[in-house]
A and B are shown apart, each in its own frame.
Chain A
Amino acid sequence: MLWIYILKQIIQRIFLLIIISFVAFMLLGSMGDPLDVLVSMNPQITDREIDEYRRQQGLDRPMYIRYFYWARDAVQGDFGISISYRRPAAELMFGRIPNTIYMQAIILFFIITVSIPLGIFSAIHQYSKTDYFLTFVAFAGSAMPTFWFALLLILAFGVLPPEGYRLPFTGMYSDNLTVAGRTVAYHEAPLYARFLNRLQHLILPVLSAALISLTGLIRQTRSAMLEVVRQDYVRTARAKGMPERKIIYKHALRNAMIPIATILIQTVPILFAGSLVIEQLFGWPGVGKLIFDAVMSNDYNLAMASIIFMSSLTVLFTLIADISYAFLDPRITYR
C-alpha cells in the first residue's frame, strides 16, 4: 500500500513541476523581449538581422509551441543559452549550486545543533524562567522579518564596530587577506587564513537565515517532547524506577524524534526559498541570487533553469517529508 501511495505522490509532484514550469515559462516569455538587451548593445543592428536571429532562435513561434521545444530540450539537460552571460544556462546554474548547498548545509547543521537541545531543555524544565524566555524569543522570532534581522546584524557587527573588529557581509570570501601583517591575495593565502576568512563570511548570513526556522523548531521540539512525556510508556518507565536521564534520552527523545525529523525535512525547502533573500542581501553567489538577477534582467533561459532547479528541490523535499512520516512511524497507514 505504501508503495502505491509513494507512486501516486511522485506522479502528482511531477505534474506539479510541469504546471510550474509552464506558468513560469509563459510569464517570463511575455515579460519583455529578450532581444531588447542585445539590440540596445548593438545600435547598428538592422531589422533583418533581428528577424534572422529570431528565426534562428525559434523566437518567432507562439509561446505554447516554444514551451514544448523548451521542455524537450530541458528534459535532456539543455536549458538553452543565457542571453546576458552568453553561456549555457545549465552550466551557469551548476556552477552556483555548490555555493547554495554549502551555505544551506551549514544553516541546517546550525539549526539542528542549537534548536533541538534548547527545545528538550525547555520541555524538561517546563514553566521555568528559561522556558518562558525561550517562548518569548520564539514568538519574537516568528514575527521577525528575515531581511530586517539581517540588516540589524549587518549594522551591529559589520558597520558600527570600529575598523578591524567588523565582520564581513558581502560574498563568500575576501579578495585580499591580511596574513601576519601583510596583504595577500585570497588564493595565495595559507589554508588556515582562507578557512578563517570563509568562516567569518558565513557568520552573518547563517545567523540571519537560521532565525525563523530555529525559533520554530525550538517550539516544535518542546511540544513534541511534552506530548511524548505524557504517554503511558513514560509513566511505566518512571514507575519501574528508571533514572530520569534515561527516561528522557532513551524513551522520550527517541519517540519525539519522529515528528521532529519530519519538521526538519520540511524546513529544508523553506530554507532554500529563503536563500533568495539572504543571497541577495549578502551578495552570495548562489542559485537564489541567480534566480533574482535572471528574472530582473529578462534572461529567461537562465531564470527558467534556476527556477526549475529550486522548484524541483522544494517539491522533492516536501515529498520526502510526506513519505518519511510513513517510514518513521509504523502506526500510520496510507491509502
Chain B
Amino acid sequence: MSKKRNIEDAKDKKKVLITESGPGDATLKEKETDLSEISSAREYTFFQMVLYRFLRHKMAIAGFSIVCFLILLIIFSYINDLFPNLFNLPDFTRTSITNRFLPPLSPGHPLGTDNVGRDVMARLIYGGRISLFIGFTASISGGLVGGIIGAISGYFGGWIDSLIMRIVELFFSVPTLPILVIVARYFGGSPVTIILILVVFGWAGTARLIRGLVLQIKEYEYIEAAKAIGCSNARIIMRHVFPNTLAILLVTMTLRVGGAILFESTLSFLGLGVNPAWPTWGNMLSNAQNFMWNAPHLVIWPGLCIFLSILSFNFLGDGLRDALDPKLKNT
C-alpha cells in the first residue's frame, strides 16, 4: 500500500483503476492513486475516465437510477396533463366521500386514498413535481450565486474578499430554522418565494468553497502566463478560473438538491411551505399526521419519497465527486 507500488502499477492502468475505487474507503487510498492518474490520462480522455469511475461507483449508479425514475415521473405527469385519458390516472384534486381512507392496493387506487378520498399515488406524482422543481432550481441558482460571489471574493482579494467573507461568516452563525419560520410566514407559500429563501440562506457555503478553490487556482502558472500575455480579468475568470471550478460546483449543486428538498418539506410540514391546495410531499405528511390512527399508510409514502430522493441525490453527488476528481473525496 505504498506510493512506490502504485507508480509501478501505473504502467498497467487497468489494474490501477480497479484498485483505486472501493466503496467507503477513507483518505488513505486516493492520495496514493494521484500519480497513477497522471500517467494513465495519456491514453484515456478525461470524460472516459470520469465515466469509468462513475460507472464503478455502485451507490452512485443506484442514486442515478432513482433520480432518473423521479424525472421520468415528472415527465409522465406533464404528459398526463396534456392527455388526461391516456393513463387513466385519477385526478389528484378529485375528492370522494365514499372512498375515504382506502388501504393500498384498492382497485383504481394502488396506494390508497387520503382523508377526503384523493388518490395518494396521483398526489405523490404531482407533489414530487413541485418538490423536485424547488430542489433543482434552488440548488442550481444557489450554486450559481454562491459560485460567482465566491469567485469574485477569491480572485480579487483585498477588501472585497474580507467584506464578503464577513458576510459569509454571519450567514454561518445565523439560526436558520427560527428565522426561516418568520421569513416563510411573512413571504407566504409560493414555490418561488421558497426558492428565494433557500437561495438567500444557502449561497454562503458554496461561496466559501469556491473562494478557497479560486485562491488555489490563482497560484497556478497558467494564470500567471495568461496575465503575462495581457488577458483581461474577465477573460481569465471566464476561460481559466471558472472552468476549473465547474467540477466542484456541479458536485455541490447535486448534494444541495437533497438539502433543498429536505428544507422545503420541513417548511411544508410545519404548514409554512407551499400552499396546501397544491400537494407536496411535505404537506401530505403534515396532513397524514392527523390521521395516523385511521390510515397509517398515509405516513409511509410521502416520507419514503422524500427520504429516497434525498438519499439518491446524496449518492449521486458523492459518486460525481469521486468520479470527477478523486482528490476531493473529503471536501
Contacts and interface: CB of A to CB of B under 8 A. Distances in A.
Given A151-B299, A315-B175, A142 B166 contact: no
A227 B27 contact: yes
- Among A30, A226, A276, A291, chain B packs the most CB atoms within 10 A around the CB of A276
Interface string B142-183: 000000000000000000000000100110111111110111
Contacts of B236: none
Tier of interface size on chain A? 35 or more
A135 B172 CA distance: 27
A274 B177 contact: yes
B76 interface: no
Given A151-B285, A151-B303, A277-B266, A159 B293 contact: yes
B303 A295 contact: no
Nearest to A16: B170
Nearest to B187: A27
A171 B300 CA distance: 24
B112 to A, nearest CB: 15
B175 A314 contact: yes
Contacts of A12: 166, 169-170
A291 B300 CA distance: 28
B311 A20 contact: no
Nearest to B293: A159
Nearest to B24: A135
B178 A155 contact: no
Interface in A248-289: 269, 272-274, 276-277, 280-281
Contact of B311 (A139, A272, A292): A139
Interface in B13-40: 24-28
A144 interface: yes
B262 interface: yes
A119 B330 CA distance: 17
Tier of interface size on chain B? 35 or more
A19 interface: yes
Interface in A290-334: 291-292, 295-296, 303, 306-307, 310-311, 313-315, 318-319
A159 B292 contact: yes
Contact of B307 (A28, A145, A223, A280): A145
A147 B285 contact: yes
Nearest to B303: A148
B108 interface: no
Contacts of A319: 173
B186 A31 contact: yes
A222 to B, nearest CB: 8
B6 interface: no
A199 interface: no
Interface string B259-293: 00010011001100000000000000100110011
Contact of B266 (A20, A132, A147, A314): A147
A143 interface: yes
- Among B25, B262, B300, B315, chain A packs the most CB atoms within 10 A around the CB of B262
A277 B258 CA distance: 19
A7 to B, nearest CB: 15
Given A145-B310, A296-B185, A155 B299 contact: yes
Interface string A115-154: 0000000000011000110010001101111111001101
8 contacts: A16-B170, A145-B306, A148-B285, A151-B292, A223-B26, A276-B177, A276-B178, A310-B178
By Cβ-Cβ distance, the 10 closest A-B pairs, closest first, are A148-B303, A314-B175, A143-B311, A143-B310, A318-B173, A273-B177, A27-B186, A311-B175, A310-B178, A151-B299
Given A226-B28, A277-B266, 11 more contacts: A12-B170, A143-B258, A143-B310, A145-B266, A148-B285, A152-B303, A155-B296, A155-B299, A223-B330, A295-B185, A313-B175
